[in-house]
Structure 1
Amino acid sequence: MSSDDQPNGPGEATEPDEATRPKDYRVLDAGALRALAHPLRVQIYDILSQYGPQTASSLAARLGESSGATSYHLRALAAHDLIREVEGRGTGRERWWERPKGGVTFANPEAMRTPSGRAATQLVMAEFFRRRQQQLVDYVNRGIINEPETWQESSLLSTSTARMTVEQTQKLGREIQALVDAATDKYRDQQGEGVRPVTIRADIFPLPNEGEAS
């Protein structure tokens, strides 16, 4: 699983292979995965990805935590270069943090060879998708009713099923990844009236065969 979220241009997509993965993708090593493997740290990391730079205080307000707790977790993430302090912004008492630009992939084959690496990867992915799924549910429950009609018409909630081979599935994943990458690169740093974070989801995975448990 990979994430190419950026402030004002979020999106995640299927795992890009070595030949098609953009040069700025970072494969998280076992140490970075273990550092991220905490529910609150995943939430902090995702907020920085979707909404841009934050302080310990602003994150605490969003998450219902103390600023001391968010400050501690920010430092832990920074120790593995998952986030960094924003240069030239803030003071000694009010530091701003950001997620570096560029996509990351949580699927590290080396890390998956050890029990601790597998556990860290599973925790990170489960919490990441739990948060993103909750955002989708919140939109269905409230956004569809409360969002302006223009944003309602611009949103897309779609699911389909096809019968495909591994090669066909890989090809579709690469094509979707290319579209998502192009949009992210084009609008990553866009600012201005009417601009807001938009999440882009592309989920492609095999279903159980007939007769198997679903």
Structure 2
Amino acid sequence: MPEPARQDRHVRHLDARSLRGLAHPLRMQLLDSLRFSGPATASQLAERLGESSGATSYHLRQLAAHGFVEDDPERGKGRERWWRAADDGLYFDDALFTDASPAVRGAVDMVMHQVATKHTQELYTWLGNRHTWPQEWVPGTDMSDMTLRLTPRLANELIEKMHALVESYRDLPEAVDAPDAERVRIHTHTFPISTD
């Protein structure tokens, strides 16, 4: 399912309440599945994720209560309920990382660890399957690490520039109808390390 054009993209800013509604491993998996694989029913998601349809139904309703998913009115017949992601991405407000509430900080930690786990799984999947991709993709992949000495301000500036660069590639006409164009995942991780 192609991602929406940049002007149609909606990135949701997480606040303390919505973050607590998302902070569950299965909810995050459900949301990722709907965002990356498109609309589905609770039963389809249960099969896809190896869960019971009761569990997926419950957590989909919780996600809907917090505005992360919504009914897809273009699909479904009778009692069949289709769900779709309400947003194209999520954005953490920096204040969440220093919130006074232990519950909020715990939710931040849980969500961030789930994101890191998802990134690791995606990378392992690529490494295990890269031999099945055409040879032309070899120079189009990267697994690099670099170490710089930066201030917090410079690190933030670097992150903003990296994100802007990635966004500038989102809707290039060259890739829209190209037969060899594929969806590409880009992970960026920027964090300080101890020099001890």
TM-score, length of structure 2 as denominator length = 0.83
Q: In the alignment, does 2:150 pair up with 1:164?
A: yes
The one-letter code matched in structure 2 to 1:143 is N
Instruction: Tell me which residue corresponds to 2:129.
Output: 143
CA 1:83–1:177 in 2, change beyond 3 Å: closer, same or farther? same
Q: In the alignment, does 2:44 pair up with 1:58?
A: yes
Alignment of structure 1 residues 1-214 onto 2, 5 Å: 8-9=2-3, 24-107=10-93, 109=95, 112-140=99-127, 142-184=128-170, 194=180, 196-208=182-194, 210-211=195-196
- Per-residue CA shift, 1:120-172, capped at 9, x if unaligned? 111111112212211111211x1222222223332222211122222322221
- The SS at the match of 2:72 is strand
How many pairs align? 189
* Offset of residue 87 of structure 1: 2.3
Following the alignment from structure 1 to structure 2, what is the Cα–Cα distance between the partners of residues 146 and 120?
A: 38
Q: Root-mean-square deviation (CA), in Å? A: 2.6
CA 1:144–1:102 in 2, change beyond 3 Å: closer, same or farther? closer
Instruction: Extract unaligned runs of 5+ from structure 1.
Output: 1-6, 11-22
- Per-residue CA shift, 1:73-105, capped at 9, x if unaligned? 111101110111112211243322111244322
Larger helix fraction of residues: 2
Q: Which runs of 4+ in 1 moved over 4 A?
A: 190-196
TM-score, length of structure 1 as denominator length = 0.76
Q: Which has the higher contact order (CA 8 A, sep 6+)?
A: 1
**Percent same amino acid at aligned positions?**
39
Q: Is the 8 A contact 2:11 2:90 kept in 1?
A: yes
* Offset of residue 191 of structure 1: 7.6
The one-letter code matched in structure 1 to 2:112 is M
The one-letter code matched in structure 2 to 1:44 is L
The one-letter code matched in structure 2 to 1:82 is F
- The SS at the match of 1:109 is helix
Following the alignment from structure 2 to structure 1, what is the Cα–Cα distance between the partners of residues 103 and 110?
A: 11
